[in-house]
A and B are shown apart, each in its own frame.
Chain A
Amino acid sequence: MSSNDAMPGVPDTPDRAQLDAMVDAEQADPRAELEDVDFSTELGVAMAEDAKAVSRGEITSEEYWQRYDDLAAEEFGEVYHETPNPAVDHDTAQTIEDDVAESLSCTVGSMASIAESLEEPAGDSEGASEDGEDDDHRWGMVIDLQKCVGCDSCSVACKAENRTPPGVSYNVVMEEEHGEFPNVQRTNVPRPCMQCENPPCVQVCPVSATYKMDNGVVNVDYDRCIGCRYCMIACPYGARYFDFGENYDDEVEGAGEITSPEYGVDRGEREPKKSPVGNVRKCHFCHHRLNRGEEPACVETCVGDARNMGDLDDPDSEVAEMAASTRAMQLKEGEGTDPNVYYLE
């Protein structure tokens, strides 16, 4: 099965027939399964076969239900009518009970309505929610320091996601060792932008290029920023970085070909003297991902699940609850900046 030049430690891929045989071996016999229940085996098998035909596109969903709705009603009796069928009962609002939905943190509604609501934020991301105007969230992050192992994968994920150039790192992990051997302790404090409620950077910008959006994220308008770096002087967290125009060209071929659509603006290829080169940059909670309904890259990647993202204005949200806990603290609370990034000690 294996050839000599196979990569050590990497298993060979079996051929197709072998794979199919493996699947067949695992597959339960439908007839045997259905015979275990009180209802008609023949009807079950026939519905299953035709359901496959629907998914292959050989018959339509409507034809399928024309064929089986009455038969199924006859077979299952009252129970069939009590169970909503999203494919038939378009007007039925939901398919599962409210409390079940909540325990699973599912969105409730018919398939069609949920699909619609999912499309909305994505489709609108360039318009209304760019300013966060339609957004009644206040995005906040809670980082559990007891779960942080200091692996720096958040910094790596951030670099990959935002395609930041050398010298620019929206997220860093501040690592410190205390004590003397052998009684050494190590603290790891990941440091994104705090998205302060009272941001000193916004206060000092002479051209209002950096400003706070309604959803709590501090924006940098790369088309307006003059690169005076006053905000970097004012930031008590060192969270701002100047884009000196350096590139990873020596390390990666075509390093600047793809850029991240920061703040919902796609700027195309990275070029010298084109913004954001010559501007100040910082973490924006992966605003473009938030707009798509995704978590920031650092949150998604965190191996210890130490990072949490959510709406601080929603008292029932996980982050709001964590931020209210006795373990919660903010960096440099005395500065009066009131960060929207909380840490759990």
Chain B
Amino acid sequence: MATDSKQFDFGFRNGRLRVAWYALLAVLLLVGGYAMWLRLQGGMRSTNLTSITPWGAWVAFYIYFVGLSAGAFLVSTLANVFGIERLHRVDRDALFAAIVSMVVALLFVWTDLGRMDRMWHPFAWRQVTSALSWEVHAYVAYIFVLMTELYFSMRYDLARVAERGTGLRARLAGLLTLGRRQLTDESREADRTWLKRAGIVGIPLAIFMVHGGTGVLFAVSKARPYWNSGLFPVIFIISAVLSGTALVMLLYVLRTRLFDGERVDRDILDRLATLLAAFVVVDVALTAIEALIAIVSLHPHEVETWRLILFGEMSWSFWWFMVGMGWVFPLVLVSKREWRRTPWLMAVAGLSVVIGIIAVRFNIVVPPQIRPVMEGLPHGSYFPSAVEWATSVGMMAVGLLLYTIGAELLPLTPLDGGDH
């Protein structure tokens, strides 16, 4: 077990890359910040939303990041609950990414409120029959579970950094141990036990409440037949797990290369890529079933909505992004064993899915709001405004910044390489 000082320096290996990366984030944050100012000043008028299409890009990104979070979390449980030892190395990364994604998701849903100043109202007044009311509480509980998990997963290494590291990292690590600085094997065992317990609470919370619940939020809308199906929340969860796996794979390659300066473990990569392939297949199959049921029902609203997705003016987002980048391209990349063991190819596959699932989310949110709920009411037409795009980029940059700072300061890679 090597404990040279280099091991406690988890930041970028390459100083110029660090500067470039933070400069890019700064630009994105400036653009996003300006757009956010426009949104705050102009209110919801700064969007392209209408009363026919009241939910748009912000809602799509909100469910996207909720999904990303739930997916990343479930990947982390593969290691610390289901005992897939190999994946221990990505466990904290997945947890931290899950927390950051959730923060970004809440930023999006906050920005989407007509009255942002009333964000606290759901905690003061409730409605038992409202999925959204339940969701808000589930999100808070979920973030709490995630932080608990990350704490128990990382506490031992935090204590080591606090003891042997230097500077800001050591001080921060000392604070984050919350006073538990023992480096004994018993304390480590206690951590693992509690980690598993929190994971067991977290799994149903993530699957059924957080992401399944977000699917339910849509599925209960009887007025929108496209959403109103029992399979819908299930697809939500599958696509969440898919995007989460892809994100973890991408982060693993990038961070190992750029931060840890180590060789990427080909076995881990292979395992993640195989999982990814399985999730793509399930996602495709369930989506096809859903579409088939909808179209064969001949319900005019369902048929019209699917016609819109497949052949409408925004069908490029379905074919190129959802089918192409989300499903076909990554499936091709993970089809050969040799490719599955090639880090940069897998990073590309991960990125492709992570982008493709954005289109999945947009194609969930927008299409059923184009055809009006009643014949004779005006049809909708929606493409996000510049302010919506720029604020979205800004909020994602906040997420990237949080992740980067965390990756620079926290021992997200187990200090003993994850093999124990």
A-B contact count (CB 8 A): 137
A-B contact pairs, 6 of them (CB 8 A): A174-B374, A204-B129, A224-B118, A233-B224, A235-B373, A279-B114
Residue contact B115 to A226, C-beta cutoff 8 Å: yes
Report B-chain residues with C-beta under 8 Å of the C-beta of A236.
222-223, 373-374
Cβ contact of A335, chosen from B122, B124, B222, B369, cutoff 8 A: B222
Report B-chain residues with C-beta under 8 Å of the C-beta of A237.
373-374
Question: Beyond A207-B126, A228-B132, A238-B374, is A233–B55 a contact (Cβ under 8 Å)?
Answer: yes
Residue contact A233 to B54, C-beta cutoff 8 Å: yes
Is the C-beta of A158 less than 8 angstroms from some C-beta in chain B? no
Given contacts A209-B125, A238-B373, 18 further A-B contacts (CB under 8 A): A191-B377, A200-B221, A200-B222, A203-B130, A204-B220, A206-B126, A207-B133, A227-B114, A229-B54, A234-B220, A235-B223, A242-B50, A242-B51, A242-B54, A244-B45, A244-B49, A277-B43, A278-B113
Residue contact B114 to A206, C-beta cutoff 8 Å: no
Interface string of A207-247 (1 = CB under 8 A from B): 11100000000000000111111101111111011111110
Residue contact B374 to A191, C-beta cutoff 8 Å: yes
How many of B's residues come within 8 Å of A, CB to CB?
40
Question: Beyond A174-B375, A233-B54, A279-B114, is A206–B43 a contact (Cβ under 8 Å)?
Answer: no
Cβ contact of A200, chosen from B43, B45, B132, B223, cutoff 8 A: B223
Residue contact A168 to B51, C-beta cutoff 8 Å: yes
Residue contact A245 to B127, C-beta cutoff 8 Å: no
Instruction: Look across to chain A and name the residue whose beta carbon is closest to the beta carbon of B51.
Output: A241
Task: Determine the distance from Cα of A280 to Cα of B114 in the docked complex, in whole angstroms.
Answer: 9
Instruction: Look across to chain B and name the residue whose beta carbon is closest to the beta carbon of A334.
Output: B222
Report B-chain residues with C-beta under 8 Å of the C-beta of A205.
127, 130
Question: Beyond A176-B376, A191-B374, A200-B222, is A225–B127 a contact (Cβ under 8 Å)?
Answer: no
Is the C-beta of B112 less than 8 angstroms from some C-beta in chain A? yes
Residue contact B132 to A204, C-beta cutoff 8 Å: yes
Instruction: Look across to chain B and name the residue whose beta carbon is closest to the beta carbon of A237.
Output: B374
Is the C-beta of A172 less than 8 angstroms from some C-beta in chain B? yes
Main secondary structure of the interface of A (DSSP, over half): loop
Question: Beyond A174-B377, A238-B52, A238-B377, is A227–B44 a contact (Cβ under 8 Å)?
Answer: yes
Report A-chain residues with C-beta under 8 Å of the C-beta of B112.
228
Question: Beyond A203-B130, A206-B127, A232-B51, is A246–B374 a contact (Cβ under 8 Å)?
Answer: no
Report B-chain residues with C-beta under 8 Å of the C-beta of A175.
376
Report B-chain residues with C-beta under 8 Å of the C-beta of A335.
222-223
Task: Determine the distance from Cα of A175 to Cα of B377 in the docked complex, in whole angstroms.
Answer: 9
Report A-chain residues with C-beta under 8 Å of the C-beta of B376.
174-176, 189, 191
Residue contact B126 to A234, C-beta cutoff 8 Å: no
Interface string of B127-138 (1 = CB under 8 A from A): 101111100100
Residue contact A246 to B114, C-beta cutoff 8 Å: no
Residue contact B43 to A278, C-beta cutoff 8 Å: yes
Which B42-71 residues sit within 8 Å CB-CB of chain A? 43-45, 49-52, 54-55
Report A-chain residues with C-beta under 8 Å of the C-beta of B372.
238
Question: Beyond A191-B374, A228-B114, is A272–B54 a contact (Cβ under 8 Å)?
Answer: no
Task: Determine the distance from Cα of A10 to Cα of B176 in the docked complex, in whole angstroms.
Answer: 85
Is the C-beta of A275 less than 8 angstroms from some C-beta in chain B? yes
Task: From B51, B121, B217, name the one whose CB has the most chain A CB atoms within 10 angstroms.
Answer: B51
Q: How far is the CB of A211 from chain B (nearest CB, A)?
A: 9
Report A-chain residues with C-beta under 8 Å of the C-beta of B127.
202-208
Report A-chain residues with C-beta under 8 Å of the C-beta of B373.
235-238
Q: How far is the CB of B420 from chain A (nearest CB, A)?
A: 44
Which A73-97 residues sit within 8 Å CB-CB of chain B? none
Is the C-beta of B201 less than 8 angstroms from some C-beta in chain A? no
